[in-house]
A and B are shown apart, each in its own frame.
Chain A
Amino acid sequence: MLEIRNLHARAGEHEILRGIDLTLKPGEVHAIMGPNGSGKSTLAQVLAGRETYAVTAGEARYLGRDLLEMKPEERSREGLFLAFQYPVEIPGVSNMYFLRAALNAARKQQGLEELDAADFLARVRDKIRLLGMEESLLQRSVNEGFSGGEKKRNEIFQMAVLEPKLAVLDETDSGLDIDALKVVAQGVNALRDPERGILLVTHYQRLLNYIVPDYVHVLSNGRIVRSGGKELALELEEKGYGWLETAAVA
Chain B
Amino acid sequence: MSTETISQPARAEEIPAAAAARRYLERFAAPRAGAAAPAWLRARREQAMDRFAARGFPSQRQEGWRHTSLAPIVQTEFSFAEAAAPPAPALLRQLERLPLAGLGCPRAVLLNGRFAPEWSRLEGLPAGLRVTPLAHAWREVSAAEAHWARLATSERHGLIALNTALAEDGLLIEAAPDADLREPLLVIYASAASRPLAQFPRALVLAGRGARLALIELFVTLDGEGHFTDAATEIRLDENAEVDHYKIAHESLSALHFGAIEARLERDARYRTTSVLLGGRLTRNETGACLAGAGADSRLLGLYAAAGRQHMDNFTRLDHAHPHGSSREYYKGILDGESAGVFSGRIIVRPGAQRTDAIQSNKNLLLSESASLRAAEPQLEIYADDVRCTHGATVGQLDPEALFYLRTRGLEADAARRLLTYAFANEILTQIEIPRLRQALENELFARWTGTAAGAQANAPA
How many A residues face the partner with a CB closer than 8 A?
A: 39
Query: Judging by beta carbons under 8 Å apart, are A92 and B405 in contact?
Result: no
Extra 6 A-B pairs, beta carbons < 8 Å, given A88-B404, A92-B430: A88-B399, A94-B458, A101-B410, A101-B411, A106-B410, A139-B462
Q: Which of B409, B425, B462 has the most CB of A within 10 A?
A: B409
* Known A121-B462, A139-B461, A139-B462; contact A82-B408, beta-carbon cutoff 8 A: yes
CB-defined contacts of A48 to chain B, threshold 8 Å: 408
Smallest CB-CB separation from A135: which chain B residue? B462
CB-defined contacts of B411 to chain A, threshold 8 Å: 73, 101-102, 105
Partner of B457, one of A51, A77, A90, A117: A117
Selected A-B contacts with CB under 8 Å, 27 pairs: A48-B408, A49-B407, A71-B407, A72-B404, A72-B407, A73-B407, A73-B408, A73-B416, A76-B407, A88-B404, A90-B423, A91-B427, A92-B422, A93-B422, A93-B423, A94-B458, A96-B462, A97-B458, A100-B457, A102-B411, A105-B411, A105-B412, A106-B410, A109-B410, A118-B462, A121-B462, A158-B409
Query: Judging by beta carbons under 8 Å apart, are B462 and A50 in contact?
Result: no
List A residues 49-88 near B (Cβ within 8 Å): 49-51, 71-73, 75-77, 81-82, 84, 87-88
Say yes or no for B76: interface residue by CB 8 A criterion.
no
The answer for the CA separation of A71 and B407 in the assembled complex, in Å, is 8
Say yes or no for B420: interface residue by CB 8 A criterion.
yes
Interface of B (DSSP majority class): helix
The answer for the CA separation of A109 and B410 in the assembled complex, in Å, is 10
CB-defined contacts of A81 to chain B, threshold 8 Å: 408
Say yes or no for B453: interface residue by CB 8 A criterion.
no
Q: Which of B410, B419, B422, B425 has the most CB of A within 10 A?
A: B410
* Known A97-B459, A117-B457; contact A105-B419, beta-carbon cutoff 8 A: no
Say yes or no for B426: interface residue by CB 8 A criterion.
yes
Interface of A (DSSP majority class): helix
Query: Judging by beta carbons under 8 Å apart, are B419 and A73 in contact?
Result: no
Say yes or no for A138: interface residue by CB 8 A criterion.
yes
Chain B window 403-441, contacts with chain A (Cβ cutoff 8 Å), 1 for yes, 0 for no: 011111111110110011011111100100000000000
CB-defined contacts of B426 to chain A, threshold 8 Å: 92-93
Query: Judging by beta carbons under 8 Å apart, are A93 and B407 in contact?
Result: no
The answer for the CA separation of A49 and B413 in the assembled complex, in Å, is 12
Chain B window 250-278, contacts with chain A (Cβ cutoff 8 Å), 1 for yes, 0 for no: 00000000000000000000000000000
Partner of A117, one of B410, B415, B420, B462: B462
CB-defined contacts of A97 to chain B, threshold 8 Å: 457-459
Query: Judging by beta carbons under 8 Å apart, are B402 and A76 in contact?
Result: no
Write the nearest CB–CB distance from B411 to chain A, whole angstroms.
Answer: 6
Write the nearest CB–CB distance from A93 to chain B, whole angstroms.
Answer: 4
Partner of A92, one of B401, B407, B410, B459: B459
CB-defined contacts of A76 to chain B, threshold 8 Å: 407-410
The 7 closest A-B pairs by CB, nearest first: A92-B423, A105-B410, A92-B426, A102-B409, A72-B407, A76-B410, A88-B405
